């Protein structure tokens, strides 16, 4: 088993680059299945989730060439629309392939997706959206099958904001006959980025990035190319890493415009930050406790809740953390209490953090992608050597974290035990 070993208590210095957004790259790769030509995607992060999704595409018969942060996909040789179950179970984003396969090939059978244990994460809204567009949906506890000769446009009202469901239905509607309207759509920056790519391939999407998206179906989509936007969750995580270690570091190649609520929340916590057009610099700060509520974009992203909660263990006072999106995304806090934090769980959506408390190194298991990286941040400030296993979860979403953190002077290494 590979593990991270982190010796805490060291200040960091220098620069850390941000790579392409995982949660855009995965959707662009899925959308490539809609195309009648090749697509080239630049600034793709080299992470496990991308590897898994590429494996699924190749399993379906697509041709994929990878060259570092660039990938070229030729979906024209796809010859089946039932991806292998064990690949599908490895990541939730596998569900993103269902709509494009249905829209382009008329039939798809897929096992229910896997992904983080952060909550229920059903796909009922995906399936009801496909049904609204005319698909026949058959489902058992193991897999679901979608069929449609030709999808038609529909009015789809999301009961609450859902990111991948919005993206999936938006891309699927590109090949439906007529107009589809998605009401109460998610507005994450990755969604207009996805729409821009699809429009460059001949789609007719308007309103992406607002709560109402309109898609005029077209006969077919050509190939194309795009460059993935910077990963705002990486950027926020690294800025918090600089603050929690009391360091002066610069996060480079990021898009601060996508982090306005995060930067404002950090400043409310008395964080000293300098922000340029594509960089964020942290300075040693005397942090104070603030209340946090996660919210869909442009609110504070749930994916940064765990790094922020860990930051609050080092802030003066009591902070209330309200994880409003997921019912299972605060259970990692018992691991922080084992390290010496003082966190009370009020209910599955709320914890109260009292700080500052010194943290002591522990042997920990990464529960999921974002909490796993949060535990790395805790290890950077804990006294002693923290060991984190199940690091596959972390490497699902962060490219080469060891090299990037070592370049900042972090005492972190990957060992095999
Ligand atoms: C996306 O997950 C992201 N994943 C998550 O990032 C992110 O935390 C989340 O959006 C919220 O921002 C990807 O983009 C691959 P949702 P997703 O659809 O699509 C419920 C990471 O760390 N729901 O917005 O699963 C669902 O249970 C990952 O990169 C339904 O009820 O989030 C949740 O409570 C973790 N039915 C809520 O909606 C459905 O059909 C929000 O889900 C779909 C979702």
Do 131 and 190 fall into the same domain?
A: yes
Do 164 and 234 fall into the same domain?
A: no
Do 142 and 71 fall into the same domain?
A: yes
Q: Which residues line ligand 1 (CB under 6 A)?
A: 22-23, 26, 92-93, 116, 119-126, 162-165, 302-303, 325-326, 369-370, 397
Query: Does the active-site annotation cover 116?
Result: yes
Say how far apart CA 358 and CA 342 lie, in whole Å: 10
Beta-strand relationship, 2-7 and 411-416: antiparallel
Residue closest via CA to ligand 1's atom 5 equals 303
Q: Print the domain residue range for 192.
A: 22-220
Say how far apart CA 55 and CA 253 lie, in whole Å: 28
Do 334 and 250 fall into the same domain?
A: yes
Q: What is the total residue count of the chain?
A: 417
Domain total of the chain: 2
Task: Judge whether 408 lies within some domain.
Answer: yes
Do 301 and 391 fall into the same domain?
A: yes
Do 191 and 321 fall into the same domain?
A: no
Which is nearest to 45 in space by CA: 28, 62, 63, 60?
Answer: 28
How many other β-carbons are positioned within 10 Å of the β-carbon of residue 50?
24
Domain boundary among 194, 220, 246: 220
- 287 CA from centroid of ligand 1 (Å): 30
CATH of the domain at 51: 3.65.10.10
Do 87 and 147 fall into the same domain?
A: yes
Say how far apart CA 100 and CA 260 lie, in whole Å: 33
Which tens digits make up the pLDDT trace of 266-290?
Answer: 999 999 999 999 999 999 999 999 9
Do 179 and 309 fall into the same domain?
A: no
pLDDT at 115 over 90: no
According to the model, what pLDDT value does residue 382 have?
A: 98
By three-state DSSP, how is residue 268 classified? helix
Task: Judge whether 131 lies within some domain.
Answer: yes
Do 100 and 184 fall into the same domain?
A: yes
Which tens digits make up the pLDDT trace of 305-364?
Answer: 999 999 999 999 999 999 999 999 999 999 999 999 999 999 999 999 999 999 999 999
Task: Judge whether 225 lies within some domain.
Answer: no
Do 126 and 39 fall into the same domain?
A: yes
Helix then strand count (H, E) for the chain reads 14, 23
- Choose the residue to mutate in 113, 162, 185 for probing ligand 1, maximizing ligand atoms within 8 Å of C-beta: 162
Task: Judge whether 279 lies within some domain.
Answer: yes
Domain boundary among 192, 220, 248: 220
Residue pair 271/287 in contact by the 8 Å Cβ criterion:
yes
Which is nearest to 52 in space by CA: 95, 20, 18?
Answer: 95
Which tens digits make up the pLDDT trace of 5-51?
Answer: 999 999 999 999 999 999 999 999 999 999 999 999 999 999 999 99
Do 145 and 191 fall into the same domain?
A: yes
pLDDT at 68 over 90: yes
Do 124 and 54 fall into the same domain?
A: yes
Query: Tokens 């190649």 label which residue?
Result: 253
N-terminal to C-terminal alpha carbon distance within the chain: 5
pLDDT at 116 over 60: no
By three-state DSSP, how is residue 58 classified? helix
Atom of ligand 1 nearest to the CA of 166: 18
Task: Judge whether 202 lies within some domain.
Answer: yes
Q: Cα–Cα distances in Å, from 246 out to 281, 285, 314?
A: 12, 6, 10
Check: pTM over 0.75? Answer yes or no.
yes
Write down the mean pLDDT value for the chain.
96
| Interval 95-106 mean pLDDT | 96
Task: Return all residues near 157 (Cβ < 8 A) that are at least 6 apart.
Answer: 183, 184
Which tens digits make up the pLDDT trace of 209-249?
Answer: 999 999 999 999 999 999 999 999 999 999 999 999 999 99
Task: Judge whether 388 lies within some domain.
Answer: yes
Which is nearest to 200 in space by CA: 326, 39, 392, 389?
Answer: 39
Task: Judge whether 99 lies within some domain.
Answer: yes
- Rg (the chain; Cα; Å): 21
Task: Judge whether 196 lies within some domain.
Answer: yes
- 338 CA from centroid of ligand 1 (Å): 29
Flag the least confident range among 139-148, 171-180, 229-238: 139-148
- 164 CA from centroid of ligand 1 (Å): 6
């Amino acid at each position: 088993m590979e593990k991270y070993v982190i010796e805490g208590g060291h200040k960091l210095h220098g620069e850390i680059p941000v790579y392409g957004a995982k949660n855009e790259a995965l959707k662009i790769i899925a959308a490539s299945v809609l195309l009648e030509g090749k697509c080239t995607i630049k600034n793709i992060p080299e992470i496990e989730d991308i590897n898994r999704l590429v494996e699924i595409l190749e399993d379906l018969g697509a041709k994929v060439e990878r060259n570092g942060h660039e990938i070229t996909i030729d979906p024209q040789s796809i010859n089946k629309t039932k991806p292998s179950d064990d690949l599908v179970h490895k990541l939730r984003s596998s569900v993103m392939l269902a709509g494009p396969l249905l829209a382009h090939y008329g039939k798809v059978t897929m096992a229910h997706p896997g992904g983080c244990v952060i909550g229920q994460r059903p796909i009922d809204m995906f399936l009801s959206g496909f049904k609204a567009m005319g698909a026949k949906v058959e489902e058992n506890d193991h897999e679901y099958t979608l069929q449609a000769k030709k999808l038609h446009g529909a009015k789809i009202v999301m009961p609450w904001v859902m990111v991948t469901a919005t993206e999936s239905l938006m891309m699927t509607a590109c090949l439906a006959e007529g107009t589809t309207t998605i009401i109460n759509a998610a507005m994450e920056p990755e969604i207009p980025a996805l729409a821009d790519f699809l429009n460059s391939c001949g789609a007719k999407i308007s309103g992406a990035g607002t709560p109402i998206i309109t898609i005029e179906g077209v006969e077919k989509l050509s190939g194309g190319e795009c460059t993935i936007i910077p990963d705002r969750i990486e950027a926020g995580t690294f800025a918090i890493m600089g603050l929690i270690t009391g360091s002066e570091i610069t996060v480079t190649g990021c898009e601060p415009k996508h982090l306005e609520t995060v930067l404002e929340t950090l400043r409310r916590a008395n964080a000293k930050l300098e922000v340029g057009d594509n960089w964020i610099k942290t300075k040693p700060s005397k942090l104070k406790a603030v209340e946090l509520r996660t919210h869909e974009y442009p609110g504070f992203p749930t994916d940064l809740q765990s790094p922020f909660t860990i930051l609050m263990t080092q802030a003066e006072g009591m902070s209330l953390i309200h994880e409003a999106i997921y019912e299972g995304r605060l259970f990692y806090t018992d691991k922080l209490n084992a390290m010496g934090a003082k966190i009370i769980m009020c209910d599955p959506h709320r914890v109260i953090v009292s700080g500052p408390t010194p943290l002591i190194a522990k042997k920990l298991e990464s529960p999921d992608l974002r909490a796993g990286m949060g535990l790395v941040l805790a290890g950077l400030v804990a006294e002693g050597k923290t060991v984190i296993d199940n690091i596959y979860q972390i490497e699902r979403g962060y490219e080469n974290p060891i090299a990037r953190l070592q370049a900042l002077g972090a005492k972190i290494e990957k060992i095999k035990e």
